[in-house]
């Protein structure tokens, strides 16, 4: 059968129009037959050659000259920017020439297919993650978890915006919209006593009873970010057709400052006060993953990051980009595997140590030997070796929020193309609807939770000392070097 297939593909294929025949001879195929196989996979044609290509090129050149001389293609205007007034369709670009930005600190995860679900025995027999083949489109993902320094930029931006409005350092446009007066804010020195006195005229500082040794500090509860976004899922429903646009705009406040008390709250009868006092504020932990943020705070960070980037692009009259967001559960697992479709861990099978006996992630080895892997609590976000996609700490260090709701049977009905099951629970929704999937395991978890197919959950309004996050954005792959952008 294989010999017949090869003979059939080597036959001459002829395409015969009415007046002239173009002959395509010998389509070259690369056929690979497994031993003792009775079937073969239809190959993709490669290196197709057209005989008499000089004649074809000449005919095409004559056709182009004839068409252009007749004016069918239209004439280019002198300015080169306005459309030619020739009654033909030329297309209109939505903006200026697009230059694809490579997001700093992010790596591209190419499109692909993988087996989603456990790559080892379901030891709990929970059947909450059944294997399923799914396809994922390409996206960009943070190479590391969001660090304290990166999250602090968000906190300071919100702080400056709130303070500017409190002390009147704002401007108004013709429509009455207020925005921060950046020129005045640059003159504001936070260590200057005059600045503290100016802030004392508002309620942004801690009340006198809440101060230690009378030190005037900003009240973290007043650092509130206002989320604004479209709910495209609701807008896409058929029953919501023809409703006003305002019906699908969501606006709600979210506190930006992380909960530093989680280090004490999460562990009973354990001394962790130094981490509460220093982890987010001390420069020594600047490149460590941020913790103590709820799912809502992580989602608000993504919303701010989108607004921050698009505001800059708009000021430069450049095309705006997609939204930064939390990865879906399927995207996270696909990225964590790094192209190893059925491996237990991001580095492969089957062990948590390499051949030299070194542990490959930050978790709880053995029966509580926390420092054996090199870190007692968290470690730097870029510690250990990255996976094959260039992503760090996809197993261990801190577990990571995803955008997906945790539902035990979701694998049974979700789509096989970019599967996504979401529910943005409201404050009055039952607790069951507030469960969000977390993945990757953390510094305080045993090795089972480091597996790429292990599912866990936490409530969206809960902050923990072992949960962080990273962002994704939907952009095409960066062009290869030497090619036009």
- Output the domain CATH number for residue 139: 3.90.1580.10
229 neighbors 248 (Cβ within 8 angstroms): no
Distances 209 to 167, 191, 204, 205 between C-alpha atoms, Å:
23, 22, 14, 11
- Residues 471, 427, single domain; the answer is yes
Alpha helices (H) along 125-221: 148-167, 182-186, 193-199
Query: Would 180 be classed as within a structural domain?
Result: no
Sign of torsion over alpha carbons 17, 23, 28, 29: positive
Per-residue confidence (pLDDT) for residue 39, from 0 to 100: 39
- Does any domain span residue 222? no
Q: Are residues 290 and 421 located together in one domain of the fold?
A: yes
435-to-429, 438, 442, 459 alpha-carbon distances in Å: 11, 9, 18, 4
Q: What is the pTM of this model?
A: 0.79
Q: Supply the pLDDT for residue 73.
A: 44
Q: Do both 352 and 400 map to the same domain? A: yes
The reply to whether 340 falls in a domain is yes
User: Which residues does the chain have with pLDDT short of 70?
Assistant: 1-81, 95-100, 120-129, 478-485
In a domain, 223, yes or no: no
Q: Which of these three, 69, 93, 110, is where a domain ends?
A: 69
The whole-number pLDDT of residue 275 equals 95
For residue 26, give its domain range: 2-69
- In a domain, residue 228? The reply is no
How many other C-beta atoms lie within 10 A of the C-beta of residue 314? Answer: 11
- Domain shared by 112 and 58, yes or no: no
| 33 and 114 fall within a common domain | no
In a domain, 194, yes or no: no
Instruction: Mark whether 14 and 112 lie in a shared domain.
Output: no
Residues forming a β-bridge with 324: 473
Give the pLDDT of residue 129: 67
| pLDDT at residue 78, as a whole number | 43
Same domain, 127 and 50: no
Q: How many domains does the chain have?
A: 2
Compute the distance between CA of residue 361 and CA of residue 370 in angstroms, rounded to an integer.
11
Give domain status of residue 426, yes or no. yes
Do 27 and 143 lie in a common domain?
A: no
pLDDT at 468: 96
Q: Residue 28 and residue 356: Cα distance in Å, rounded? A: 47
Separation CA 412–CA 278 (nearest Å)? 44
* 15 plus 125 within the same structural domain: no
| Pair (297, 369) in one structural domain | yes
Residue 245 lies in a domain: no
The two structure tokens encoding residue 315 = 């000021």
Residue 125: per-residue pLDDT: 60
């Amino acid at each position: 059968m294989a010999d017949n297939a090869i003979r059939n593909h080597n036959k001459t294929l002829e395409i015969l129009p009415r007046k002239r025949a173009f002959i395509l001879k010998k389509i070259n195929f690369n056929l690979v037959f497994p031993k003792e196989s009775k079937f073969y996979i239809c190959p993709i044609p490669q290196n197709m050659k057209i005989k008499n290509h000089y004649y074809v090129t000449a005919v095409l050149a004559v056709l182009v000259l004839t068409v252009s001389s007749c004016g069918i293609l239209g004439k280019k205007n002198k300015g080169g920017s306005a459309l030619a007034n020739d009654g033909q369709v030329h297309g209109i670009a939505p903006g200026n020439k697009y230059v694809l930005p490579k997001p700093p600190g992010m790596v591209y995860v190419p499109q692909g297919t993988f087996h989603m679900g456990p790559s080892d025995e379901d030891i709990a027999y929970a059947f909450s993650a059944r294997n399923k083949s799914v396809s994922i489109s390409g996206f960009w993902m943070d190479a590391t978890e969001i660090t304290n320094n990166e999250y602090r930029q968000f906190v300071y931006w919100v702080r400056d915006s709130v303070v500017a409005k409190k002390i009147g350092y704002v401007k108004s446009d013709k429509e009455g919209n207020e925005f921060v007066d950046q020129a005045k804010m640059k003159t504001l020195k936070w260590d200057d006593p005059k600045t503290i006195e100016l802030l004392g005229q508002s309620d942004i500082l801690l009340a006198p009873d809440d101060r230690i040794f009378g030190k005037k500090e900003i009240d973290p509860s007043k650092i509130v970010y206002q989320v604004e976004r479209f709910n495209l899922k609701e807008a896409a429903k058929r029953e919501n057709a023809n409703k006003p646009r305002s019906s699908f705009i969501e606006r709600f406040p979210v506190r930006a400052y992380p909960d530093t008390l989680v280090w004490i709250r999460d562990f009973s009868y354990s001394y962790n006060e130094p981490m509460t006092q220093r982890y987010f504020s001390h420069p020594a932990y600047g490149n460590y993953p941020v913790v103590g943020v709820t799912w809502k705070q992580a989602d608000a960070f993504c919303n701010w990051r989108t607004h921050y980037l698009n505001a800059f692009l708009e000021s430069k009259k450049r095309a705006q980009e997609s939204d930064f967001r939390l990865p879906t559960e399927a995207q996270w697992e696909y990225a964590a595997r790094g192209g190893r479709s059925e491996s237990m861990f991001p580095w492969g099978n089957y062990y948590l140590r390499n051949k030299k006996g070194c542990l490959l992630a930050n978790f709880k080895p053995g029966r509580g030997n926390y420092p054996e892997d090199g870190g007692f609590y968290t470690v730097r976000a870029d510690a250990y070796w990255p996976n094959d996609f260039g992503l760090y700490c996809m197993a261990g260090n801190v577990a990571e929020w995803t955008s997906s709701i945790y539902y035990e049977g979701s694998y049974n009905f979700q789509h096989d193309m970019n599967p996504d099951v979401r529910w943005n629970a409201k404050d009055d929704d039952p607790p069951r609807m507030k469960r969000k999937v977390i993945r990757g395991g953390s510094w305080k978890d045993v090795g089972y939770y480091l597996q790429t197919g292990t599912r866990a959950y936490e409530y969206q309004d809960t902050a923990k000392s072992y949960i962080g996050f990273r962002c994704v954005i939907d952009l095409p792959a960066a062009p290869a070097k030497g090619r036009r952008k």
